[in-house]
Amino acid sequence: MSKLPIPTYRITPWLFLTPLFIMIALAWIGPLFLTVYLGFTDLQLKNFIAFIKDFFTPQVHFTLDNFRRIFLAQDPYIPEVARITMIYVGSVLAINAFFALVLSIAIAYFVKSELISMSLRVSWLLPRITPGIVYALMWNWFVSRDGMFNLLLRLAGIPESWLPSNWLLDKPYSQLLMIIVNGYIGASFGMIVYTAAIKSIPPDLINAALVDGASEFQVARRIIIPLLKWPIMFVTAWQTLSLMASYDVILMVWGAAQGASPSEVLGITKVAGVTVWSLYAYTQAFSQYQYGYAAAISLVLVAIGLGLIVFYFKVFGFRRLMEPSRVEV
Amino acid sequence: MVKVTLDNVSKFFGKVKAVVDLNLEVRDGEFVALLGPSGCGKTTTLLMIAGIYKPTKGRILFDEVDVTDLPPKDRNIGMVFQSYALYPHMTVYDNIAFPLKLKKVPKHEIDKKVKEVAKLLQIDNLLNRKPAQLSGGQQQRVALGRALVKEPDVLLLDEPLSNLDAKLRVMMRAEIKRLQKELKITTIYVTHDQVEAMSMADRIAVMRAGRLQQYAEPEVLYNKPINLFVAGFIGNPPMNFIEGSIKEENGEYYFESEGLKLKLSKDLGELVASKSTDVVLGIRPEHIRVITSGEVDNAIDATVYVIEPLGRDLVINVKVDNTLLKILSTPGLKLEPGQKVKLVFPEEKIHFFDKYTEKAII
Amino acid sequence: MSRLSREELARRKMHARIRTIIKYVIVIVVAVIPLIPVWVMFLWLLAQSFSAKVTFGVIPQVFTLENWKFLWAPFKMGLKEYPNIWPITMNTLFLALGVAALEVLISSMAGYALSRMNFPGRIGLMQFIIALHAFPSVILLIALFIILNKMGLYGKGYMTLLGIIIIKAGLEIPMASWIIKGFFDAIPWDLEWAALVDGCTRWRVWRSVILPLVLPGIGAISIFAFLSGWAEFLLVYTYVVGEEYYTLPVLIYYLIGELKFVNWGMLAAVGLFFTIPTLIFFSTTQKLLLRIYVGGVKR
């Protein structure tokens, strides 16, 4: 029965956490600092080898040019990218947060049969759980000339003349397709959060409203939606961050259509008008080999993201951000 | 077996003071109950004795050894939790054997001891089951078995009976008490049920808001509660309280309240008046006498409000002016709501408390 | 209470019926019609992969296994000829298993500490993990490319894949720890205390009592980690040089560009082949995976 100099209960947590810290340092913190550094350099293909040998080689210069190119629009494509990104984030967000709300009320409240409700939910989840590349493959078939999309649209009564010759490349259509393709994946996020929240509303509350004379629509409008205030804000907040950073589905659908290697991606997405901000950063690095510039472009996203998350912590508080599906009665 | 001493122990969780300056001594082989309403710090105290919480201040001694910084495994304690905390993935046998396995006791010895304990607790036919297949009472026995098998120096029980139904609870109460006396283990028992504490414990520590109120034998708590809180907490139905003041008229002392005037003997009156004149009178329901007819000296007029027959007992609720009093009586008394009666308070059963400090005057 | 007249009663019944109809119209318009493309796409994948010809995209005509020849026969992608699909499948498996092993080991330790231990900065660490969501993965991709080059792991075949395993696990571990923390949170403290009183050290509690109880959760996390490694596209696409080190997603990516219009049948078959593990796991552990897909996926 001796007293240890440092009690073990002080050390043990750190032993459990060390591997986590190592991985975070390796995959997040290190790259983050490196990106900040890169953003202020003119690193590109021609001085890349020297840089790899020595991170402080004189061949790589400190410069603010990257940010000048972005903010003073010296890169003529930047305003276009910004516009596409805003349309993309705004539209998909609307699907994720608001369409998903109607969807969840329909599935979780209007449909009373648990079996039907369950199968609809699983169907809506399919786009999310299908591996991205298979999802891209299916869309490539679906919108192709001999595919089903045009056929279904014609069946729905859309006149032939409204349809594009190529969904992937004809401009407003390709951008619409970008929103649809991502919307299907995003809708299920909101759906799951909202459904959990709807299910956590005490049934007595809904029954009381029904007894008081409310119709089911009124229950949805006066009881369910007001109670879902926090989940709606959470989905909006969280998905804004996710959408700003996401480009992988676009890359897979449009890149696979041409079998484009990383160096060829930019050309295609430019034609299709689907170059969102993070995809532009990616292509600047891996299609144009402008590593410094690409880092600077992505740093803009980091700044916005950090600003937003600080804002969220303030508005929501930590607790609420963690328990999005909790309903506050 | 050991003596457990808590020396000025405090536990704060941030700003919340769960336990404040607690001094408590549990004698070797004694059965002590920690009694108090929920949130009074009794479970926190128990967890500190177990070594799961470290006290913010103060020391905990087992005999003369300071165990404050020892982890639970080095304290040789057994503990039964309110939820029983049986390991759901182990069989009953493995649950009971677990503490011995950790002590690296040889296999055949583990087997012997587990079977012994199982027999003692009459669960030897359940050894191959999983906890989920047991009833509440059986789970309780397993938890007790797991705590006892390692032959602990101290046995800690955290509301072990609160999840059982009423009938089983009464049975287990007796059984735990018998076991404790038989094995002579120093035992600390946390409960919010005063009947449990009164019927089982050698001594009871009444706690409130993290502070110890009174630490004494059950009879003392009942007969000489130290303050209003203890007086109200012990006994069922609880003690009646009447706020009022002590008045002196022509050398006679009276207790006066709305609609009530009670003459006190000179000794008592002087004693109380010397301490305080704003007082609270306390009298237990079982000590009030009800008179339905005839004249009695120094009686109080009351109206019957409602009657609750409980079979063996009869609880009569009466109103004295606007104060509701409960009276415990034997059945047989024929009373109707609204009926006028007279009450007699035997003076030797009356308690007086200071209205402001809430401390007992007598 | 006033009695309703017969006409009034009929009118109200009528209204109720109309409301019910409107309700189901909403359900169909909002929840069912948009699903038609999804169902059509999956039906196509099934129909096309097993038939030589499909009409209207989803009606199979002639049953054939021709499309599945890649399982045993050589096929070409660009200039590269593969003996069959198994070497690439093995690469994918290697990646997925590596990611799963690393992720589960590290995040179950960290999740336990986050859920059950007191240490200075605990809340801060949790906030930090959530805040990581604000960093777009593209910034990491560029910097990690430099780091892989610096470490000499770029274009080095299996070493590159190993690097990708570490990166992929590293990117997912914070969120995985967070989710596992949730599983640990669900275990009552009483159990842990009981084990401590019974004589366990903290390590022993974790190993003998807690871990067996969170095993279902850990299982779900491993499946999730496996599937996300299995489906990983970007890292392999960006970092791996040399067709023999590709994983299935990248192989499919290039096959789409090459074979669309030419051989939808083989594309569908490869796609289905690749989706099988996902579908199996999802249909068996749906509930738990659901929880993870929401918390864990980056989008």
pLDDT tens-digit map of B3-55: 999 999 999 988 889 999 999 999 999 999 999 998 899 999 999 999 888 89
Q: Give Cα separations from A119 to A91, A107, A125, C283 (angstroms).
A: 27, 10, 10, 12
C-beta atoms of A7 and B67 within 8 A: no
pLDDT tens-digit map of C106-155: 998 899 888 888 888 888 898 888 888 888 887 788 999 998 898 888 88
Shared-domain flag, residues A63 and A135: no
Q: Read off the pLDDT of each residue in A177-206 and give the average, rounded to a whole number.
A: 89
Secondary structure E strands in C11-117: 54-55, 59-60, 75-77, 80-82
Q: Looking at CA atoms only, how far is residue C65 from chain A in angstroms?
A: 20
Structural domain of residue A250, as residue ranges? 76-322
**How many other C-beta atoms are found inside a 10 Å radius of the C-beta of residue B325?**
21
User: Domain B240-354, CATH 2.40.50.140 — does that match?
Assistant: yes
Chain B residues lying within 8 Å of C195, measured CB to CB: 87, 98
Shared-domain flag, residues C85 and C215: yes
Shared-domain flag, residues A50 and A198: no
Are the CB atoms for A256 and C249 separated by under 8 Å?
no
C-beta atoms of A305 and C27 within 8 A: no
C-beta atoms of C118 and A141 within 8 A: no
Q: Looking at CA atoms only, how far is residue A10 from chain B in angstroms?
A: 12
CA atoms within 13 A on the CB side of C6: 0
pLDDT at residue A211, rounded to an integer: 82
Q: How far apart are CA A29 and CA C172, in angstroms?
A: 14
Which of B12, B13, B52, B117 is the best mutation test for C, with the most CBs of C within 10 A?
Answer: B52
C-beta atoms of A301 and C271 within 8 A: no
pLDDT tens-digit map of C253-299: 999 988 887 888 899 999 999 999 988 888 776 666 665 555 443 33
- Boundary-marking domain end, from C42, C67, C92: C67
In the predicted structure, residue A275 carries a pLDDT above the cut 80:
yes
Shared-domain flag, residues C42 and C130: no
Shortest CB distance from A291 goes to which of C114, C142, C297? C142
Q: How far apart are CA C264 and CA A108, in angstroms?
A: 37
Chain A residues lying within 8 Å of C282, measured CB to CB: 129
C-beta atoms of A7 and B70 within 8 A: no
pLDDT at residue C246, rounded to an integer: 93
pLDDT tens-digit map of A156-178: 888 888 888 888 988 889 999 99
pLDDT at residue C289, rounded to an integer: 61
Chain C residues lying within 8 Å of A16, measured CB to CB: 109-110, 112-113, 117
pLDDT at residue A9, rounded to an integer: 64
Shared-domain flag, residues A165 and A198: yes
**CB-defined contacts A:C, below 8 A:** 310
Residue A47: inside a domain? yes
Shared-domain flag, residues C122 and C49: no
Residue A2: inside a domain? no
Q: Looking at CA atoms only, how far is residue B114 from chain C in angstroms?
A: 14
C-beta atoms of C136 and A278 within 8 A: yes
Residue C238: inside a domain? yes
Q: How far apart are CA C164 and CA C241, in angstroms?
A: 13
CA trace torsion A59, A60, A65, A71 (10° rounding): 160
Are the CB atoms for C111 and C225 separated by under 8 Å?
no
Shared-domain flag, residues A48 and A194: no
Compute the radius of gyration of chain C from its Cα atoms.
26
Are the CB atoms for B7 and B61 separated by under 8 Å?
yes
Shared-domain flag, residues C170 and C45: no
Shared-domain flag, residues A286 and A150: yes
Residue A57: inside a domain? yes
CATH code that applies to domain B4-233: 3.40.50.300
What backbone torsions phi and psi does residue B280 show, to the nearest 5 degrees?
-120, 125
Q: Which residues contact B235 (CB under 8 A, 6 or more apart)?
A: B194, B222, B284, B285
Instruction: Give the count of domains, chain C.
Output: 2
Between B300 and A326, the more confident residue is: B300
Q: Hey, is B7 helix, strand or coil?
A: strand
Instruction: Give me C150's structure tokens.
Output: 């610096």
Structural domain of residue C137, as residue ranges? 75-296
Identify the CA nearest to B89 among candidates C195, C6, A191: C195
Round the average pLDDT of chain A to a whole number and report it.
87
Secondary structure E strands in chain B: 4-13, 16-26, 31-35, 57-62, 65-66, 77-80, 154-158, 186-191, 203-208, 211-216, 240-249, 252-257, 260-264, 278-283, 289-291, 300-309, 314-320, 323-329, 340-344, 351-354
- Boundary-marking domain end, from A67, A90, A113: A67
At residue B118 the predicted structure's pLDDT band, cuts being 50, 70 and 90, is: very high
Q: How far apart are CA C178 and CA C183, in angstroms?
A: 9
What angle do the packed helices A248-258 and A265-272 form, to 10 degrees? 100
Q: Read off the pLDDT of each residue in C70-85 and give the average, rounded to a whole number.
A: 85
pLDDT at residue A322, rounded to an integer: 60
Instruction: Give me A198's structure tokens.
Output: 């709807």
Q: Read off the pLDDT of each residue in B262-268 and give the average, rounded to a whole number.
A: 88
Shared-domain flag, residues C217 and C188: yes
In the predicted structure, residue A319 carries a pLDDT above the cut 70:
no
Residue A3: inside a domain? no
pLDDT at residue A320, rounded to an integer: 60
Identify the CA nearest to B220 among candidates B189, B249, B197: B197
Which of B79, B82, B100 is the best mutation test for C, with the most CBs of C within 10 A?
Answer: B79
Write down the pTM of the prediction: 0.79
Chain A residues lying within 8 Å of C268, measured CB to CB: 137, 141
- Boundary-marking domain end, from A45, A67, A89: A67
In the predicted structure, residue A329 carries a pLDDT above the cut 50:
no
| DSSP-assigned beta bridge partners for residue B186 | B154
At residue B103 the predicted structure's pLDDT band, cuts being 50, 70 and 90, is: confident
Shortest CB distance from B74 goes to which of A1, A7, A9? A1
Q: Looking at CA atoms only, how far is residue A15 from chain B in angstroms?
A: 18
The owner of tokens 């779900």 is C220
In the predicted structure, residue C17 carries a pLDDT above the cut 80:
yes
B90 touches chain A (CB under 8 A): no
pLDDT tens-digit map of C141-181: 899 999 889 888 888 888 999 999 999 999 999 988 988 88
Query: Cα angle vertex C74, ends C68, C76, to 5°?
Result: 95
Shared-domain flag, residues C155 and C28: no
Shared-domain flag, residues C44 and C161: no
Round the average pLDDT of chain C to a whole number and report it.
86
In the predicted structure, residue A283 carries a pLDDT above the cut 90:
yes
In the predicted structure, residue A328 carries a pLDDT above the cut 60:
no
Are the CB atoms for B44 and B53 separated by under 8 Å?
yes
In the predicted structure, residue C204 carries a pLDDT above the cut 60:
yes
pLDDT at residue C263, rounded to an integer: 86
What backbone torsions phi and psi does residue A76 show, to the nearest 5 degrees?
-65, -20
CA trace torsion A132, A134, A136, A137 (10° rounding): 170
Round the average pLDDT of chain B to a whole number and report it.
91
In the predicted structure, residue B129 carries a pLDDT above the cut 60:
yes
Instruction: Give me C62's structure tokens.
Output: 């002639």
Q: Read off the pLDDT of each residue in A13-22 and give the average, rounded to a whole number.
A: 91
CA atoms within 13 A on the CB side of C58: 14
pLDDT tens-digit map of B67-78: 998 888 888 899
Shortest CB distance from B65 goes to which of A1, A4, A7? A1
Are the CB atoms for A292 and A38 separated by under 8 Å?
yes
Shared-domain flag, residues A162 and A33: no
pLDDT at residue C299, rounded to an integer: 33
Identify the CA nearest to A99 among candidates C42, C19, C26: C26
CB burial readout A250-276, b (16+ within 10 A) else e: bbbbbbbbbbbebeebbebbbbbbbbb
pLDDT at residue C291, rounded to an integer: 58
Are the CB atoms for A93 and A239 separated by under 8 Å?
yes
| DSSP-assigned beta bridge partners for residue B253 | B248, B264
Q: How far apart are CA C84 and CA C69, in angstroms?
A: 8
In the predicted structure, residue A326 carries a pLDDT above the cut 50:
no
Tell me the residues of chain C between 201 and 260 that have a Cβ less than 8 Å away from chain A.
201-203, 227, 230-231, 233-234, 237-238, 248-250, 252-258, 260
Q: Give Cα separations from A224 to A114, A147, B357 (angstroms).
A: 19, 40, 51
pLDDT at residue C293, rounded to an integer: 54
Residue C263: inside a domain? yes
At residue A321 the predicted structure's pLDDT band, cuts being 50, 70 and 90, is: low
Residue C1: inside a domain? no
Q: Read off the pLDDT of each residue in A215-228 and give the average, rounded to a whole number.
A: 86
C-beta atoms of A34 and C149 within 8 A: no
List the chains bordering chain A where 3 or more Cβ pairs fall under 8 Å.
B, C
Are the CB atoms for B201 and B218 separated by under 8 Å?
yes
**How many other C-beta atoms are found inside a 10 Å radius of the C-beta of residue A213?**
7
Q: Read off the pLDDT of each residue in B186-202 and give the average, rounded to a whole number.
A: 94
At residue B285 the predicted structure's pLDDT band, cuts being 50, 70 and 90, is: very high
Residue C132: inside a domain? yes
Residue C56: inside a domain? yes
